[in-house]
Amino acid sequence: MIGKSGLGMQSDIEDGGVNDDGGRVQAGLLQNLVILAEQFGLSYSTLLGDAGLSPQALADPNRMVPMRYVQQVLDAGVRRTGDDLLGLHLSELTQPESFGVAGYIVRACGSLREVIEMCMRYEHLVSSVGSTSFDVRPGQVAWTWKLTTTNPVFRLQAVDYMLGSLATVRGHLPNVTHWDFDCVRLRRRAPELADQIREYERVFRCPVYFDQPIDALVFPLAALDAPLLHANSAMRDVLESHARFLESKQPEPDFLGSARAILKTMVMRGKPSRSVLANAMGMSSRHLLRRLTDAGSSYRALLGELREEMARNLLLESDESIETIAHRLQYTESQSFIRWFKACHGVTPARFRQQAANQGNDGN
């Protein structure tokens, strides 16, 4: 099997406890991962045993379980198969339904923009392991996934699985030929084996670049709002209602996280609005303000955080001019953006970008 070396992640028994960074994953997604692994000759019961899980622990697909169990399942899978690209290969078997209600919602969306925004809005129902976003650049869109883990080996497997799954899900949606990928960008180092590089290109069906600043699927800008034939807005509304019901049943609903996820899609569209945010969350504008205050925040603070995050990402992960970035963040003049950024970071955007580049060069 391509990528065979027997290198895997250490188990809890070996290292005294896997660092899961506090992340949690939907039991249904983990169960689906184990079921897919059976097609590679791995035993369902053996993998659960390796992870220290019983079948009963996954009986409720909407239950959230610690991320370390996913790490341990993938660790055992890599160790038992010797396939260093197991996450990538598992992604080829993914169905939209693997991601619960979020996957069903994707099937009903009317455009790729809507697909990505629904992923951003409801991915917290699937896991708190990573976050989805998209970055519009001249002629292209980068659909990114950022993983919140400090475990480098798990990062490789998880990113391969997630980006590979997003690429595979594309094939389950009608009328998708108009958004074939231009390329895939990965933060991981290029594999030493040429066969492994070819395997990435086979799965993604496009050029794959390594040692990049982001993990992203890149496709033509024209594809972002092209209509999808399977669109069903009525079904999407029903599914979103169910998703909000699942949110209400979470032990500790993350109100601030939900508000942030919705507002993030609005910032990326360039049309943030307090009233629209309130409506999307099913409450009045006044009630939204009270809830934000109770959570120790405000609409202005939340919007500022998201704009600051977007500014940092654009400065670090793109070569766009300061003027272009300022325009994308809704500043009519670049000087206003420069003054705001310097007040936040103590340096100008240009200096911030240069410092980051210097640090990167020092690390090489």
The CATH number linked to 317 is 1.10.10.60
Per-residue pLDDT band for 97 (boundaries 50, 70, 90) equals confident
pLDDT of residue 159: 93
- Domain ends where: 223, 245, 271? 223
pLDDT of residue 1: 40
pLDDT digits (tens, 9 = 90+) for 281-303: 777 888 888 888 877 788 888 88
Are 188 and 265 in the same domain? no
Q: At what angle do helices 299-317 and 255-269 cross, to 10 degrees?
A: 60
> Does 10 or 305 have the greater pLDDT score?
305
Are 47 and 141 in the same domain? no
- Domain ends where: 37, 62, 83? 83
> Does 94 or 209 have the greater pLDDT score?
209
pLDDT of residue 55: 84
> Does 138 or 13 have the greater pLDDT score?
138
Average pLDDT over residues 8-31: 55
DSSP 42-105: --HHHHHHHHT--GGGGSSTT-EEEHHHHHHHHHHHHHHH-BTTHHHHHHTT--GGGGHHHHHH
Are 107 and 150 in the same domain? yes
Q: Is residue 148 part of a domain?
A: yes
Are 150 and 59 in the same domain? no
Q: Residue 271 and residue 160: Cα distance in Å, rounded?
A: 32
Strands 216-220 and 24-26, sheet pairing: unpaired
pLDDT digits (tens, 9 = 90+) for 225-274: 888 877 888 998 899 888 888 877 765 556 777 788 788 878 777 778 88
Q: Which stretch of DSSP H or E encloses residue 142?
A: strand 140-147
Are 44 and 154 in the same domain? no
Q: Is residue 228 part of a domain?
A: no
Are 164 and 266 in the same domain? no
Q: Residue 255 and residue 237: Cα distance in Å, rounded?
A: 20
pTM of the model: 0.70
Exposure on the CB side of residue 179, measured as CA atoms within 13 A: 29
Is residue 315 within 8 Å of 357, Cβ to Cβ? no
**Report for 132-136, 184-188, 220-224, 248-252: range of highest mean pLDDT:** 184-188
Average pLDDT over residues 115-139: 85
- Computed over every residue of the chain, the mean pLDDT equals 82
pLDDT exceeds cutoff 50 at 125: yes
State the residue for tokens 């030929």: 177
Q: Residue 154 and residue 344: Cα distance in Å, rounded?
A: 33
Q: Is residue 217 part of a domain?
A: yes
pLDDT of residue 7: 33
Three-class SS state of 144: strand
Q: At what angle do helices 299-317 and 285-294 cross, to 10 degrees?
A: 80
Backbone angles phi, psi at 217, to 5 degrees: -95, 125
Is residue 225 within 8 Å of 115, Cβ to Cβ? no
pLDDT exceeds cutoff 90 at 206: yes
User: How large is the greatest C-alpha to C-alpha distance in the chain, in angstroms?
Assistant: 61
Q: Which domain holds residue 30?
A: 12-83
- Domain ends where: 52, 83, 114? 83
Are 265 and 316 in the same domain? yes
Are 71 and 106 in the same domain? no
pLDDT exceeds cutoff 50 at 8: no
pLDDT digits (tens, 9 = 90+) for 167-194: 887 776 665 554 578 999 999 999 999 9
Are 108 and 218 in the same domain? yes
pLDDT of residue 161: 93
Q: Is residue 74 part of a domain?
A: yes
Q: Is residue 118 part of a domain?
A: yes
Are 125 and 219 in the same domain? yes
Number of domains in the chain: 3
Q: Is residue 289 part of a domain?
A: yes
Are 124 and 200 in the same domain? yes
Are 167 and 286 in the same domain? no
Quote the DSSP letter at residue 353: H
Q: Is residue 231 part of a domain?
A: no
pLDDT of residue 276: 84
Closest of 217, 30, 213 to residue 129, by C-alpha: 30
Q: Which percentage of the chain shows pLDDT scores above 70? A: 89
> Does 149 or 121 have the greater pLDDT score?
121
pLDDT of residue 288: 87
Backbone angles phi, psi at 187, to 5 degrees: -75, -25
pLDDT of residue 9: 32
Q: Is residue 204 part of a domain?
A: yes
Q: Residue 165 and residue 58: Cα distance in Å, rounded?
A: 21
> Does 22 or 223 have the greater pLDDT score?
223
Quote the DSSP letter at residue 17: S
